[in-house]
Amino acid sequence: MDVKAVVSRAEPLRQHLIDPEICIRCNTCEETCPSKAVSHDSRNYVVDATLCNYCNDCISPCPTGAIDNWRMVDKARPYTLTEQLAWDSLPPETPVDAGPTAELPAHIAEITAVASEGQGGTVLAPWSAAHPYVNLYTMQKPAVATVSGNYQLTAEDASCDIRHIVLDFGGVPMPVLEGQTIGIVPPGVGSEGRPHPVRLYSVASPRDGERPHYNNVSLTVKRVTEDHEGRPVRGIASNYLCDLNKGDRVNVVGPYGGTFLMPNHPGSSLFMVCTGTGSAPMRAMTERRRRRIALKEGGELMLFFGARCEAELPYFGPLMKLPKDFIDINFAFSRVPGKVKQYVQDRIRERSADVVRLLNDQNCYVYICGLKGMEQGVDEAFRVACREQGEDWGTLLPALRAQGRYHVETY
Ligand code: NAP
């Protein structure tokens, strides 16, 4: 492959590229890019060097990190879109691409610094989080798991079907931390003859397995039968997963995610807000802590969990059995006949004193996962709660982010 290393008198360009081997074609980068520099065909996602302005908006949302690739090239001869669309893998890194910035010629180092600013976004993992493994398996080389369980979490008469699906990896290493996601590759092709896109799911099990010390992972999957506006659609991956039987084999890619991770230090607290199947990472984190109760490591767990009603709240039964002094649970039900509609943000406002006490606790880490719509509502609830308690959310939020204490994953 042609390597366009910077030659001494060429004007250098740190070109932004997407790794086709890791990219799962989820379209997040194309949707995020404000300068329309990202595009795709049926094979690859690519970046137009003439349009990319290094804003880095696309870096943090990319679930795989495929977006975070850079090569030093001659500005007059960047990799073209045609070249990138034909790649099966990135061109090899040159010493200039890989070398520490300090060792680069000044004019190149400057460009490198600008391009690196904010790479990975401003989102930081908790300082005591375990180191995550990412991108161990790709679409070209997926891990193959065997279904060892598929259980309905919702009541038979509930208006939706949410399932707890257990995947066993046997002798194939799949080290995942609570808060990470894995990608499911549905078999077959769509109407245009292209493979179905990978769908990401948060693991619902703790790092030592759904069953302790087994190499298995659980997922919380809702069978998608309608879109957010209630129009009928059939979710390819969710229906594939929900219909799996014990013994079926599933192609898995990932794991992904290097920041939505739980703290590991004794005395650390978890503040969790979720809706529906956004509860998957909260279940993983809660179960991790539950399995360690006997160690008496301290710290608090506070959970705000929204669902339409009890029958549709995944893990309602097991959650109700947890000791009250282990976790402070606040449900918000939105569609209980005869009851006022409640969202998680309403419960947060009701508990403003405890909420603000935890937000102010340097050892407390906040996790928000679920519907996109709740992000703004929860932000506003924190603002109101802070105001009631004589604090300023506008000052607190940037501090939480800078300390790796604020984590949001909404869809
Ligand atoms: P859902 O059943 O549609 O909704 C759950 C609850 O959230 C309902 O009570 C709903 O109320 C309420 N809600 C709706 N809009 C809200 C808003 N603006 N603020 C606060 N609450 C609101 O949820 P779901 O279908 O399970 O969706 C969960 C989301 O989590 C999906 O977007 C999914 O992609 C995402 N997610 C899933 C996973 C996973 O591993 N499966 C992981 C991470 C995230 P009403 O509908 O009654 O208004």
| Cβ of 280 below 6 Å from ligand 1 | yes
Q: Tell me how far apart the alpha carbons of residues 188 and 136 are, in angstroms, rounded to a whole number.
A: 23
What pLDDT band is residue 9 in, cutting at 50, 70 and 90? low
* Ligand 1 centre distance from Cα of residue 173 (Å): 31
| Cβ of 15 below 6 Å from ligand 1 | no
* Ligand 1 centre distance from Cα of residue 378 (Å): 13
Average pLDDT, the chain: 89
Interval 125-167: pLDDT, tens: 999 999 999 999 998 899 999 999 999 999 888 889 999 999 9
Interval 255-291: pLDDT, tens: 999 999 999 999 999 999 999 999 999 999 999 999 9
DSSP 226: B
Q: How high is the pLDDT of residue 211?
A: 96
Q: How high is the pLDDT of residue 191?
A: 79
| Cβ of 165 below 6 Å from ligand 1 | no
Question: Do 308 and 335 touch, CB atoms closer than 8 A?
Answer: yes
In the chain, CATH 2.40.30.10 covers 143-256
Check whether 98 has a pLDDT greater than 80: no
* Ligand 1 centre distance from Cα of residue 410 (Å): 9
Check whether 401 has a pLDDT greater than 70: yes
Most confident segment among 16-20, 223-227, 238-242: 238-242
Check whether 194 has a pLDDT greater than 60: yes
Q: How high is the pLDDT of residue 140?
A: 87
Interval 32-42: pLDDT, tens: 999 999 999 98
Q: How high is the pLDDT of residue 122?
A: 58
Interval 285-296: pLDDT, tens: 999 999 999 999
Of 120, 150, 144, 126, whose CA–CA distance to 60 is shortest?
A: 120
Q: How high is the pLDDT of residue 43?
A: 87
In the chain, CATH 3.30.70.20 covers 3-116
Q: How high is the pLDDT of residue 355?
A: 98
Check whether 309 has a pLDDT greater than 70: yes
Q: Which atom of ligand 1 is nearest to the CA of 219?
A: 40
**183-195 b/e with 16+ CB inside 10 Å = b?**
bbbbeeeeeeeee
Q: Locate tokens 């506008």: which residue?
A: 394
Q: How high is the pLDDT of residue 270?
A: 98
Phi then psi for 365, rounded to 5 degrees? -120, 135
- Work out the average pLDDT over 194-211: 94
Q: How high is the pLDDT of residue 118?
A: 32
| Cβ of 389 below 6 Å from ligand 1 | no
**Ligand 1 pocket mutation pick from 222, 277, 335 by most atoms within 8 angstroms of CB:** 277
* Ligand 1 centre distance from Cα of residue 340 (Å): 18
**Ligand 1 pocket mutation pick from 283, 333, 371 by most atoms within 8 angstroms of CB:** 371
Of all protein residues, whose CA lies closest to atom 36 belonging to ligand 1?
A: 278
- Work out the average pLDDT over 94-112: 43
DSSP 312: G
What pLDDT band is residue 2 in, cutting at 50, 70 and 90? very low
Pairing of strands 162-168, 216-222: antiparallel
- Work out the average pLDDT over 361-389: 97
- Work out the average pLDDT over 17-26: 88
Phi then psi for 107, rounded to 5 degrees? -65, -30
Of 401, 364, 385, whose CA–CA distance to 128 is shortest?
A: 364
Of all protein residues, whose CA lies closest to atom 25 belonging to ligand 1?
A: 276
* Ligand 1 centre distance from Cα of residue 332 (Å): 12
* Ligand 1 centre distance from Cα of residue 329 (Å): 18
143-256 placed in CATH 2.30.40.10? no
Of all protein residues, whose CA lies closest to atom 43 belonging to ligand 1?
A: 278
Check whether 103 has a pLDDT greater than 60: no
| Cβ of 201 below 6 Å from ligand 1 | yes
Check whether 338 has a pLDDT greater than 50: yes
| Cβ of 218 below 6 Å from ligand 1 | no
Of all protein residues, whose CA lies closest to atom 3 belonging to ligand 1?
A: 276
Q: How much of the chain, in percent, has pLDDT values that exceed 90? A: 75
Most confident segment among 50-59, 223-232, 314-323, 376-385: 376-385
- The first and second tokens of residue 20, run together, are 């086709």
* Ligand 1 centre distance from Cα of residue 369 (Å): 9
Kindly list the distances between the CA atom of residue 236 and the CA atoms of 7, 151, 185, 199, in Å, as whole numbers in the listed order: 48, 19, 10, 9
In the chain, CATH 3.40.50.80 covers 269-410
Check whether 107 has a pLDDT greater than 50: no
- Please, which residues have CB within 8 angstroms of residue 91's CB and are 6 or more apart in sequence? 1, 2, 3, 4, 71, 79
Q: Tell me which fold the domain 269-410 belongs to.
A: Rossmann fold (3.40.50)
* Ligand 1 centre distance from Cα of residue 94 (Å): 45
Q: Locate tokens 């300390």: which residue?
A: 403
- The first and second tokens of residue 127, run together, are 């300082």
CATH pick for 3-116 out of 3.40.190.290, 3.30.70.20, 3.40.630.30, 3.20.20.140: 3.30.70.20
| Count of all residues that appear for the chain in the document | 411
End-to-end Cα spacing for the chain = 38
